[in-house]
Amino acid sequence: MSHGVRVRDIVDALECEVAAGIGHLDNEVSFGYSSDLLSDVMAGAGPGDVWVTVQVHQNIVAVGSLTGVSAIVVAGGAKPAPETVLKADEEGIPLLTTTKPSFEVIGLLYLMGIRGRVRE
């Protein structure tokens, strides 16, 4: 568990744009998760995770909401669909975008002290 990292810190450190959920940047970040297969995210991500993906379909918001992630980072310059942005605002999930590829994003998050959940 990372101590004291908030979504706002990620926005600053990664120079992300905030596409949605601007009122929820004080969400605390517990762990990190990365996958572009939403069924895998549903099974693997957990509450408070920052989730890194290149998927932009509106289902990412439902999956983010279901798993309780603290933020979704859309990496690699992918542009979230307008419905995705609307839904993220409705659900109050920070939707961050960056042109940095997933690998860079995850590396930077790791340097901030965020780790993956290690399951037994």
Partner 1 sequence: MRLFLTDLHIHTALSPCAENEMTPPAIITAAQAKGLEIIGICDHNSAENVEAVVKAGAVCGITVIGGIEVQTVEDVHVLTFFRHPDALSAWQKEVYSALPEVENDEERFGEQLIMDSNGRVTGKLCTFLLGSTSMSVDYVAKRVRELDGLVIPAHVDRPSFSLIRNLGFVPDMLEPCCMEISRNISAEEARDRFPSIARFPLVKSSDAHRLSEIACYTGIWIESASWDEILLALKFDKGRSVTLRDTIM
Binding site for partner 1 (CB under 8 A): 36-42, 55-59, 62-63, 81, 83
User: Is 104 within 8 Å of 82 (Cβ atoms)?
Assistant: no
Q: How far is CA 6 from the centre of its chain?
A: 12
Full strand arrangement of the beta sheet holding 71-74 = 17-20, 95-97, 71-74, 50-53, 32-34
**Cβ at position 83, least distance to partner 1 in Å:** 8
Residue 20 main-chain phi, psi, to 5 deg: -160, 165
Nearer to partner 1 by C-beta: 11 or 80? Answer: 80
User: Is 41 within 8 Å of 63 (Cβ atoms)?
Assistant: yes
Nearer to partner 1 by C-beta: 63 or 85? Answer: 63
Nearer to partner 1 by C-beta: 56 or 109? Answer: 56
**Cβ at position 108, least distance to partner 1 in Å:** 25
